[in-house]
Structure 1
Amino acid sequence: MRKGRGRRAVLAVLFTAGAVLLLGPGAGAGAGGPGSVRQDGERPSFRLRTHEPHTITPDEGDSIPPLTPAFGNTGPVAAPLGVALRVTVTDARFDTIALDTIPRNCYLAKYHRTLICEFSDAVPAGAAYELAEPLPKVSGDYYAVNGSYTYSVWPLGDPPAHTEDYTAQYERGKDTAVGLKPVAMSTLKGDGESTGDGEDTGDGEGTGDGEAKGGGEAKGGGELRFVSDGYADRADWGIEGIKLRGRIGEYAEASIPEPTGAAQRVRVEVPEGTSFAPLTRQEREGLPSEIDYCTRDAEDGNIYCSNPRWYVTLRVRIDRRVEGAEGRISVAEPGNGDTNPGNNTAPIKLEVEDGPTSIDRWVPPVSGFPVEHDVPLETAGSDDLASPPEPSVISVDGRTGVILLVAGASAVTLALEAFRRIRRARNRGGRRVTP
């Protein structure tokens, strides 16, 4: 009897291991976010306050208006466990030092653009609330801004599908918790509000024209737009092209021209055959304060150049010669359109000079792209002059995935084979000899 139980235990372990490896540890889990207890039936529906757009005047400097979100439960049932509020800001970030200004019932995302707050008191049907105080201050990415706050609300325990586990992935605030105070439902209405029903899209944003059922942003509400005076006006923003010149294995630099109009930064796409070469921390510390170099944005991965006086330089490493290779430098358009969009983009030309790289100018590669020479020609041996081998079709992550896939399939195969042998053994043991 014990032997049979042991065999069944081995089978269970093998099947479980195979399922985890093939399907992943989250197989079978719900698609909701943290604390998800989504059930069928009637659900709350939330109306969000309509906020008038705000123009930041010169007298206000670079001060972005504070936001006080508000919402009302217009659904047929209460939100018994309370609600969660998600706020996202564009062209700005929540201004915080060591989370000391973020309420402890709120969670701040990595790049300080999204804040999610939890309120554990029940929200009855027909009740409306606003935050007891404005959200923490936000600061613009640049001295002129054209952005917005957007927010959404959902019942605690019933988040939109695919909501991230913000309690684990975000940082929790350390300041005194922020609360809610009751307001009249009529205070949520504005010129932009309509009465159509929205629906949950799974990302916290509603698709309808007035209300968001079970969470989500309603069009006409849940948004406060802000813009610096004149920054979005229709105008001509443009940029001139640049040229990079050097030998293979060297850094090549070029000064970024000041854009025309009110553009505050330029975006760079380096030419094929080169690698963006950001300054090291030590190099940056040695620069005069008024001089800057282009950097790669950690949030979106793009290369940007900006400086109040436009003393800013692009640096790349020339890895190999690519005939006709060109990069691109560009600026955005004003919010209300560009009068001459043809000059918003210009080429980055690359001139690769002939001849060997001197040992004092050679620098090691800064990326995984193929290069013609990894060492200066003066010190190169016969093996050094060959191009490095092309990377494997299967990357390190890809090999890991294949190994896990094979391991999972093997575990399931072993389980099935063990099962077949157990059945054969039972059949043989169960035969009786007829006298």
Structure 2
Amino acid sequence: MKRSIAGVRGQRVAGTGAAALLVALGTVVTAGGTAPVAAAEGRQQATGARLVAQHLMNTYYIPQYRASAPDERPTEYQISLRAAGRAADGRTLPVKKVKVTLDLAVFKGKARVEWENKGYGCTRSGTLMTCELGDIASGALFTPFRLKPGPGAVPGPAGNMNVTVTSANAPTLRHTTRVVMGAPVLTARQDKPLTGVKPGSAMEVRPAFGNKGDTAIEDSFTVVVTTEEATLRRQYSNCRYDKAVAPTKAQCELPGPLPAGAAYETDGPVTAVADRTAMYGKVHYTVLRAHDTLGNTLLPASAPRGTGGPLGLRPVDGSGADFEPSAYWKAEMSGGGLSFSTNQINDVQAIGFTIKGKIGQVVEAQVPYPRNFQEGLLRLKLPQGVSLVPVKLGDHPSELSYCWYVKQGQGLAQCAARPDGSSWLRARIDKRVPGARGSISVTSDPKTDPDQKNNTAPVTVEYLK
């Protein structure tokens, strides 16, 4: 019988000292100063100039040197800084003469710096690297160096790399990154797509992830689930959701560690409900080390939680080809999920639109492209009180198409169906007709598209003053 690991949140603090900068689960803490406080009438309390780090790694893994792959490198060590101080009028205050100093002594005899980012003023003197960034008005994202592992390094914890950020007018930031020789390779299971899903029905996804590297991940995990053309059920107490009703994003905290060679899947399903209008959709999940979330946008602690018990993990075999790493951030994240198509992928649906303008005015309106349509023409019946203004060839850009009257069509018109949004109607609003309503229609084969009612959609008029 498979054992279950309770879905509890692991915690680990990286760095020490009163000025430690932590980037944990998307929450940024800075030294010197507190977050702006909302004042009366929506004004912000002035904080003075200050920097926050949106992304600084807490644990940095260096792959072991292998003669068969001598050019294998760790992922880039990125630093993301943002000016966060506010003036009394709410303006962001620039931070002057920013300098980042990195103590690289931990890499001596283990890895060598083979590139320095001169574009950001990065230079080395002994084991110290300084990057002269100048003034930061909004933010800066850069990689100070690139490393190449050296032979003979002992696998395991190697020590710390200390990072210090100073400036002329903001408090100093300090951060400690733990360096480990050897690297995990975080993978996620790739599920086969579902077809023929009934709109409004439920689908179950079990996020699964493993480690095909040579080093254990001691951290806990953050799993971020997002949906397209579907909504989530609020199921688990250790998951936060972006909305109390019909959420489309969830963030779940799952326990570690994840030894090399191990893999887990959730012991309960994440349930998604296909939208009523869905044709194609996706339930995607991203697995991140909980304290190195790569600057991803995470949900606040105040977000609504699930109504059931905690989501946990159970062991699975992650050695197969269906457990794949990411293309780049192999030691930091992986992603999987479920793509689906519904049983209405052949259901062609017209999309209505509104003509807006003043009485007597000639206006233009974009003609929407029908859902799930291939190619052809649209039939247009204008609302009462509106007449089409023909546009001759050569009187408009060649990449645009304008609707035209059908000969002997008794006021009916046709429009080209253009998926790039280049189909337009030019019309005159001749007079006000309360409740005026036209239509836009598209044809389809009733054999493959039995629902013909939604092949026609309304065209309305909004009279402007």
With the length of structure 2 as denominator, give the TM-score of the two structures. Answer: 0.43
Higher-Rg structure is 1
Which structure dedicates a bigger proportion of its chain to strand? Answer: 2
